[in-house]
Structure 1
Amino acid sequence: MKIMGEWRSVDVYSFKMKFAESVCKLMDCGSPITVRRRRQDSREDVWGLYSSCDGSNLTECRKYLMTEMDFTEITCSESIRLVNGDNQCSGRLEVKSNTSWSIVCEDDFDQQDAEVVCRELDCGAPSGLQGALYGETEAPEWSRDFLCEGHESALLKCRSSQLTRWTCPPGKAVEITCSDPDQVMLVGGASRCSGELHLKHHQEWRPVQLHHRWSPESFQVVCHRLNCGSFVSESYKRDRGKKPVWWIETDCMKNMSLWRECVEVDDSSSSAQINITCSESIRLVNGDNRCSGRLEVKSNNSWSIVCEDDFDQQDAEVVCRELGCGAPSVLQGAVYGETEAPEWSREFLCEGHESALLHCKSSSSSQKFCSSGKAVELTCSVSLRLVGTTSRCAGVLEMFYSKEWRPVYDYKSEENWNHESATAVCSRLDCGSSVFQEVTDNSTRRDVWRIESSCWKSLSDHCVFGYDYNYYSEDRLEVSCSDSLESPNISVSSSSGVSKARNQGLQVFFGTSFSIICSSHHLYQGGIFQLIFNNSTTTLNNTLPAVNNSALFSFLEASHAHQGDYICVHHVHINSQNLTLQSQQLSLTVLGI
C-alpha cells in the first residue's frame, strides 16, 4: 500500500475474508480465494491497519508504522467473481474479459459449469443455480456459451461456443450458491459427534480456538453444523507443547457464518485442547437454551418430530438426562414453533432409568399423523443445588454443567450476589425467597463455574463461561432461603401436668392454670408471636413480642372455652422483608368439665 509516497507491505492481525473481498474488488480482481500471513527472514517497516478497518475504504482506515517480520498475502481469482451474495461462495456470476465484467445468461450455463466455478473459488459443490436471487444488474452480457465437462480448474479453461442469442431476458443472469465449503469434524472422540473441533483451511487441518471464549451457545452451533444432536458436555486440558490452530471470532459461531471467512490468518499456536460432546440421535431445537425446545429424533440421517401422544413424563426424564440437563419441568406442544419435519413412527416406552432415548423399548405408533401443535416440546430445568447444610434450601450454590457439579462464581460476587440474585436461586429451587446471603471464603481453591453477571435472573447454562479459561476460587456463594427456616414450635404446660390421649391431643384439667409456649430456633431475633385459637364456637387471636425467640401465653383457669385447636405464627422482619412462619396445629382437651 502506498501511503505518504511510500510503498510498504501491510499487516493486519484481524484480517479476514471480508476484508480480502474488499481488497480484491479494489484491485478489479475476482473473488478472494486465500488469505495468508507470511513471515520473512528479517524485520522491515510495514503499514499496520487498525482492526476496525473492514476494507470497504482503505484510504480512510487508520494506519500506523510498525516493524514486523510478517505480512499479509491475498490470492484473488483473476477472471470470475460472485457478487451481492450472502458470503464469498454465493452471488451473481460475473466473468472478466478485456478489463470489463459481464454477466452470464442461465441458458448458456449448466450444472457442470457451476461445478467448475465453485471449485475455482475454493467453495463446496453447487447447491443452487438460478436467477434473480441476488439482484438485477445492468452489466453487459458474456458473449459465449460455456461447455465445461466439470473437471476443469477454471471457468475460462472450459470450451465455449459463440452465442446465437442477442440478449439475456430479465431475471435470467446466472446466480450461484455453492454449498458450505467449511470442512469441519470432531477428532479423537468415541463417535463423529464427539472430540476436538478441527477445520480445514488453506488445505490444512487444524484445531479451532475461539477468541474471547467458548460458550454453550458456541458448542451448540458446532453440533448443529455437524448434523449432530444437542450439545451435551465439554472437557478441557492443556498439552505440554503447543500446536498450530485456527483462531475464529466468537461472533461467527453465533450467526452461522462461513467459518473460513472468520479465520484470522495469524499463524498462531495453542496448548489448549477442548473436546466437545454432542448427542448423536436427539436434539431440542428453537428453544431458549440448550435444555429446551422441540424434540427431534434422528434416524437414517434425517430428523423427525415426536408426537405428544407417543411420549410421556418418563420418556422426558430420559431425554433430559441424556442431554445433561435437569429434570423435565414443562412437557407440551406448540411452545417453540411449528415444523414441517417428518413424524417419528414409533411410540416410546421408557421406564425412566435408561441412559438414552433410543435405548428405550418402543412400539409402532397408532397415530396416523401428528396434528398441528402436538409435536413434543420439552423444557428441562437447569440443575442447581445448595449444599453443606441439613436443609436443601440453604447452603453453598452449585450448578451441574457438562456432567459435573461445581460451585458457582461471579467475578463481581461481592456486588452481584445480593438479595435479588439469591432470591432468584431460591425461587428456582422452590424454596421461597432469600432471607440471608453472603460471599464466604472457603480457604480451599476449587474449580468453579463462572457465570455472566447479567444472568442471575435467568440462570440458564448459556451463562456459563466455557473451558477456554480455567476458573478457580476460594469464594463461595451461600444463601438461606425462607423455606429453610424451621417452623415455630408449639407446646403446652400446666400446673397439674399435661397428659396425652390417643386421637384427642393434649389434655389439661379443668380449673388449673396452663400456658401455650411459642418458640423458634432460627437465628433471627425479634418480631411477634401470634396465637390463633379456634373451636366450634370461638376464634381468638392474641399477640406477644418475641423475647429470645419465644412467647408465653398464660391462662389462669382452664375451662371448656379453652378446648380447641391452637397455632403459633411468628411474624419476623429479616433483611428488609417480612416473613410469616407457622407451627403445626396443637389440639387441646380440657378434662373434668
Structure 2
Amino acid sequence: MSSLLSLISAFSPGGAVLRLVGGAGSCSGRLEVFHQGRWGTVCDDMWALPGAAVVCRELGCGDPLSAPRGAFFGEDRVWLDEVNCAGTEAALSDCKTRPWGDNDCTHKEDAGVVCSGNLHPSQVAQIRLVNGGPHRCAGRVEVRLDGRWGTVCDDGWDLSDVAVVCRQLGCGTAMEALSGKVFGPGNESDPVLMMDVQCQGTEAALGSCPYTDPEDLCQHDEDAGARCQGEPLRLVNSRSRCAGRVEVLHNQQWGTVCDDNWDLQDAGVVCRQLGCGTALSAPGGARFGRGSDRIWLDNVNCTGTEVALSDCRARPWGVNNCTHGEDAGVVCSAGFALPDVRLVGGPHRCAGRVEVRLDGRWGTVCDDGWGLNDVAVVCRQLDCGTAMEALSGKVFGPGNESDPVLMMDVQCQGTEAALGSCPYTDPGDICQHDEDAGARCQGDGLPGAGLWLNQTTGPKAAGPAPLWPGYGENLAGRHPLQRR
C-alpha cells in the first residue's frame, strides 16, 4: 500500500484520499479516490477545470492545465459521479457530488487531471502547427523554447509524439506523424530545437517528453509534421467559419448546445478552440437556425480560461430540457468583417440616423425589428454610453436615395461589440428610406456627455426638449422594443 500511495496522494479534510495515476508524472493522470478500503475512479459527468483546480491544489501540484475526460489514462471502479466544484474548495470532498458509488457511468468516462506542478515552465512550451492550410490542427510542428521559435526534427517522430501535440492544442485524436518537411521547411533563420522526441502519449505538453538537442545534426528538410483529427466542435449555418450554430461531436454524432446559461465566456472558449479570435457575441434562441440532430450539451458554464469546451462544466452528455429553438450560437472576431457605423442627421454624433458601411458601401438600417438592444450595440461601438431610444420612421430624415438599405431585422442581444456581429437579414427591396432606423445614446462624446439642453432653462439630465424637427413624430407612443 505504501508503494501505491507514493504515486501521489493526499488526505483531505473530508476524509478522502486522492491520487493521480497512469500519467506522465506525479501531478497528472487518472483521478482516483480511496473509499471503504478500495480505490476507485471519478466519472467525467460535469467534470471540468474547476474540479481539476481543487485536485491540483489539494495535492500541492500547482495550477490545472486540463481536465481530460473519457478514460484518458485508464480504467478502474467508479466511486464518484457528477462532481460539481466551484474551484475554490479546499478539498474534492467539499464539492457537490452524487453519493458514493451512485453513478450511471462506465469506465470509458473516467476523469483525469493534468496539473502544472510537475512541469518546468519551459516544458509548458508554446506550440503551433504551421502551413497546414485552413485547418489549424495540421501542419509543421513548431515550438517555442527559451524565447525562440523553431522546428522539430523527424528523427524518432511518431504517433505518440503527435498525440501530445494534438492534446496540447485541443485538436482531438492524433491521425498522422509526418516527416520530411511535408508542410514545407521552417524558416532558415529559425533553429531546429528538438530531435528524438520520446513521448509516451499521455503527457500534457511536448516539452515534458524526453528529447535531444539536435545541435547541427538536423536540417529543415527533416522538419516533423502532425495531423490531428481536429476539434470535435464546429460552427455551422453561417457565411463565416467563425460564426454560426455551435455543434459538438460525441459518440460519432454531431449535436447542438442548448442556450441555457450560454454567455460570452462560453463563446470565448469556442472561438479560442477554433482559432477564431475573441468572442463578439453569444446568441441564443437558434439565431443561426435550428439543428436537427441530438442536443448534446446543456447548462454549459465556462470560466473563460478553458482550452476546450469539453473542459467546461455542463450537464451530462444528452441530458437536457431543451428544444432546438434554444440552440446556442457564437460570433467570433476572426475573419468576420465588422462594418463601420455612424449616426447622421442628429444634434450630435451620438444621435441620428443609423448608417453602416458594408462591402465598401454606406447605407441605412431598416426599422423592422429595430429595438433598444440594437441601439445598445451602436452606442457601445461609437463609445456613446447608454442606449436611450430606438427610433423608427426616418425620425432623423431619410437616407440618400443613391444609398441602399443594407440591414433589416437586426437581432442583437445587446452585449455584442459591433452591429455587424448581430444576426440580420439583407432587405433586398423590402425596405425603403421612409423606414430608416435611428438611435439616441446618452453621451455626445464631449464634456458634459449625457446632458441635454432645455431650450429655456439650460442643462438638465432628464426630460429633454426636442432639438430637431420631427423628433418623436413617428413614435406613436410605441415603446422601442414593442416590435420585437
TM-score of the superposed pair, with normalisation by structure 1: 0.33
Structure of higher CA gyration radius: 1
TM-score of the superposed pair, with normalisation by structure 2: 0.38
Relative to its length, the structure with more strand (as a share) is 1
